Structure 1
Amino acid sequence: MPARFVTYSTDQGSGYGLYTEQGIIDLSARHGARWPTLRQVIEADALQRLADEAAGLQPDIAPGTFRFEIPIPSPEKLICVGVNFPDRNEEYKDGQVAPSNPSLFIRFPRSFTGHGQPLIRPPESPQLDYEGEIVIVIGKGGRRIPESEALDHIAALTLCNEGTIRDWVRHAKFNVTQGKNFDRTGSIGPWLVPFIDEEQLADIQLTTRVNGEVRQQDRTSRMIFSFRKIINYISTFTTLVPGDVIVTGTPTGAGARFDPPIWLKPGDVVEVEAEGIGTLRNTIEDEA
C-alpha cells in the first residue's frame, strides 16, 4: 500500500498527515513548524522522508473525527486540461481531428472541496455535471521542461471530480471560466500518493460512477496528450512551481452527453476511481 498523505480539518483546526484505515498519523503536529502544509513538504522533497519516519507510528486522529480537505490547500496554480481522450474529442462533432495542443483553463481552489464532502449545486443552474480525472502535483519546478525530463517534476498523484455548471460554460464565446468556478462544485482527493515511476501513470484505468453506475471509463494510455506533453506544454508559457496542481482531462460519458442530459441532483453519490491511487467520493447538496 503506497503512502497516502491527506490534508484534514477538525473542530480544532487543520493539518496534514498519513491516512490509515485506523485514522491519521498527524505529521503537522510533528513537522508543521518547519513545513506548515503539504505544499511546503513537497517543495522540500520530503514526502518519502516523512512516510519513512512515520513507519510504525500509531494514528493520532480517529476515523469519524476529521474531514478531508483538498490535499494542497493553496496551490499557486490550478490548471485543467480540456479535451484529452479520443472519444471525448469526437463528442464535439465539429469535424476536427484531435487538436495539436491541449486546451487549458484555470480553476480557483475555492471551487473544490475534499473527499467525503458534498458538491454544491448553486441556485443559478441545475446543470451540475461530473468529470472524473487524474491529477498530477508538481514537485520540482521549472520552465520549458523537456518531455524527456517531465516526469521527474511530478511529486504526487491524486484524483479530481472536475464538476461543471454546463450552461455557464457557454455564457461567452471563448472561455469556460464561469462554469468551472462555482464554489465547491468540484472535488480533489482523497489523498496524495507519492509518484515513484512511470508505471503509476502509463496505463491505468480511470472510472467514474454515479450511484454505482459506471458513466466514464478509459485508460491513460489512450490520452491524446501524455503527462509528459502536458508538463512540457504548460511549462513553456509559465514557470511551474512545487505544489502546482494539473488536472489532466476526462473520458467521454459526462451527464451532458446523454439524451436528455442527466444532471447531478441532491442525494446522488459520485465516485472517481483510478488504479493505484484510490477512490474520490462525494455526495450532492443544494446550496443553502
Structure 2
Amino acid sequence: MRFASYQREDGVTSWGAVVAGDSGERLIDLQAVAPTLKAAIERGLLPGIRVDNGNTLAFDAVTLLPPITAPDKILCIGVNYANRNSEYKDGSAAPSNPSVFIRFPDSFTGHNQPLIRPHESEQLDYEGEIVVVIGKAGRRIKRENAFEHIAGLSIMNEGTLRDWVRHAKFNVTQGKNFERSGAIGPWMVSADEFTRKQLEDMRLVTRVNGEVRQDDTTASMMFPISFIIEYLTTFCELRPGDVIATGTPNGAGARFDPPIYLKPGDMVEVEVEGVGVLSNGVEDERV
C-alpha cells in the first residue's frame, strides 16, 4: 500500500493512503488512526491497516510533503554503485566500507514542489536514489534480518550543490543541506509490496526534461540494502521513521564534460520500479 504525507487546503498537515479510483488517484485521510505516518510506523499500525472510504481527498487538492515529515535521522550513502565509483578518475579501488553523510529534513521538499537553487551557487545537481524507511528499531542488525526492519520504500532526488561539497577537505555536509535543494516522495510504498529478491535488482531511472540521465539497478550496488542496514547499526540505533538514501548511479550532471547543472525551468523525474515517479521543477531562490 502507498502512504503519503500532505498539507490540506485548510493548512492542516496530515497523512493517508493513496488509492486508485475511477477518476484517478485519491487519498484516504488516516489522521484519526495516528497523527503522522511516522507515528503509525512507530505503533506498528501499517500491517493490515483498514481505510475508511468516507475520508477521501482529491489528490490534486493537497500539497505533498516528504512521507516522513520529521525523521530522527536521514542517513545517506555516497558512491554506492560500482559504475559511480569508476567516475572518480583518481585510480582509487572500490571502497571496503560505505561512505556515510547526514542531511537535514528541511533540505528536502515534496513531489511536484520546486527544487530551490540558492543565491550562492549555480551548480545544483540531481541524484536519483532509492530510499529505505525504517519500520522497527534495531542495533547491530544482521544482514539476514535487515528486511524485517524496513517499513517501506520511497524515492529521493538528493540535490547537491557541487561547489559547496568541496568547501572543506573531508566534508560534504554544506553542499548537501541547502534548504529545499532535494526532494523525497511522492509516497512510501509499504515493505509487504516487495520481496528481498526485488530489492536486490530494482531499477532506477532519472530523467531531466525527458532525457534519461541515470539508468541502473540495485544489482550494481557495491553495498546492498541489507549490508547498509547492518553497517549503520554497528554505530547507531535505527528507529522507526529513520530515512536511508542508498546511493545514486552514474550520470549526474557534474560528470558530463562540460558539467550540466540544473537551471530554473528544468524538470527532473526519478522513477523507481515498484514505487513510482518523483517529479520536481527547479526555481531560483526568491529574495
Normalising by structure 2, what TM-score? 0.95
What does residue 112 of structure 1 align with?
A: 108
Describe the superposition over 1:24-45 as per-residue Cα deviations: whole angstroms up to 9, x where unpaired. 10111x21xxx21111111122
Describe the superposition over 1:50-81 as per-residue Cα deviations: whole angstroms up to 9, x where unpaired. 2xx117x2562113210110000110000000
Give the superposition deviation at 1:49: 2.4
Give the superposition deviation at 1:93: 1.3
What does residue 40 of structure 1 align with?
A: 39
Q: 2:76 aligns with which of 70, 76, 80?
A: 80
Normalising by structure 1, what TM-score? 0.94
Q: 1:205 aligns with which of 195, 200, 203?
A: 203
Gaps (5+ residues) in structure 2? none
Runs of 4+ in structure 1 over 4 Å off: none
SS of corresponding position for 2:133: strand
Cα separation, 2, equivalents of 1:130 and 1:163:
5
Cα separation, 2, equivalents of 1:63 and 1:114:
14
What does residue 137 of structure 2 align with?
A: 141
Q: How does 1:48-59 map to 2 (within 5 A)?
A: 48-50=47-49, 53-54=50-51, 57=53
What does residue 11 of structure 1 align with?
A: 9
For the 8 Å contact 1:22–1:59, the answer to whether it is kept is no
Give the superposition deviation at 1:46: 1.4
What does residue 29 of structure 2 align with?
A: 26
Gaps (5+ residues) in structure 1? none
Q: 2:252 aligns with which of 254, 262, 271?
A: 254
Aligned length: 279
Verify: 1:180 aligned to 2:183, yes or no.
no
Give the superposition deviation at 1:199: 3.3
Aligned residues with identical type, % of pairs: 58
Q: Which amino acid aligns with 1:157?
A: L
Verify: 1:226 aligned to 2:224, yes or no.
yes
Q: Which amino acid aligns with 1:152?
A: E
SS of corresponding position for 2:70: coil
Q: 2:268 aligns with which of 270, 281, 284?
A: 270
SS of corresponding position for 1:64: helix
